[in-house]
Amino acid sequence: MPTRDPFNDPFTGEESGRSIIELRGISRNFGAQEVLRDVSLDVRAGETVCLIGESGCGKSVTMKIMASLMHPTAGDVLWNNVPIKDRSDEDLVRDRLRFGYLFQGAALFDSLSVFENIAFGLRQNTKMSDAFLEEIVAERLKDVGMSPASARKMPSQLSGGMRKRVGLARTLALMPDIILYDEPTTGLDPIMIDVINTLILKTKKRRPVTSVIVTHEMSTVRKVADRVIMFYPLSRLEPGESQIVFEGTPEEAFSSDDPRVSQFVYGEAGERMQELALL
């Protein structure tokens, strides 16, 4: 088993349950379009949080702001109680290495082989030997249930589910402490959805990891989430009304008496049909 590459690691520690990511009063505009308004939430060490809600309500934007891949228009992001804006550029670059990000559609480099896709972050951020790198790539492929022979394939030769698994292997290669999954099961069949859900659970079981998952898939929420946070579109809220309409366990989400929550988790159009009919 390869030894972990020695990064300065600000996100590990024995105290599980402490807040390691905090958003305080986050807003984000794109020109005149307001996507997030005064959003505050936290992510605690060792938990798996699912962000749910209709398309376009700001979930993926929230995740990118968490990882400092996008800056908020207003508000503060804190990592381990320290505002990002107070970190030096050197510290910010180093600390970002503790995040793994599984993009929608896996976002593989089409011109690189599976091996080179998984090895990409290692080549960019470490000086490990080729032999050590090959060992890590082989282990990450094994972790996601793929054979060593698949390392020679190109992304165009892979199914959608295999591309997602390669994307996860690449995410795991740097052994991040926080993994951000942006709709990891979109476009997959029910069996492959369960495969990805199981891999998310296996990743957490293998070693301590904190996960944030943007998803519309309720089977993912039921199977992997410790906590659920539901966003609501700003266009359908009253002025000053919170954009987060639910926060709690999966069981609480599925038993919620808030029609906005229950209609979403059970996939029922409800009053949305009346709204759409007026368009």
CATH 2.40.400.10 fits 19-98+177-277, yes or no: no
Backbone phi, then psi, for 257, in 5-degree steps?
Answer: -95, 5
Within 10 angstroms of residue 249's Cβ, the number of other Cβ atoms is 12
How much is the pLDDT for 230? 98
Residue with tokens 């709204």: 275
How much is the pLDDT for 8? 41
113/44 Cα distance (integer angstroms): 36
Tokens at residue 179, please? 């993994």
Residue extent(s) of CATH 3.40.50.300 domains in the chain: 19-98+177-277
pLDDT digits (tens, 9 = 90+) for 116-170: 999 998 888 888 888 888 999 999 999 888 998 999 999 999 998 899 899 999 9
pLDDT digits (tens, 9 = 90+) for 237-272: 988 899 999 999 999 999 999 999 999 999 987 666
How much is the pLDDT for 268? 84
Q: Residue 10: is its pLDDT beyond 60? A: no
182/42 Cα distance (integer angstroms): 18
Query: What's the 3-state SS for 64-131?
Result: HHHCCCCCCCEEEEEECCEEHHHCCHHHHHHHHCCEEEECCCCCCCCCCCHHHHHHHHHHHHCCCCHH
208/202 Cα distance (integer angstroms): 11
Rounded to 5°, angle at Cα 201 from 49 and 128: 100
Segment among 58-62, 72-76, 107-111, 246-250 with least mean pLDDT: 107-111
How much is the pLDDT for 274? 64
How much is the pLDDT for 87? 87
What's the sign of the alpha-carbon dihedral 115, 116, 122, 126?
Answer: positive
How much is the pLDDT for 43? 97
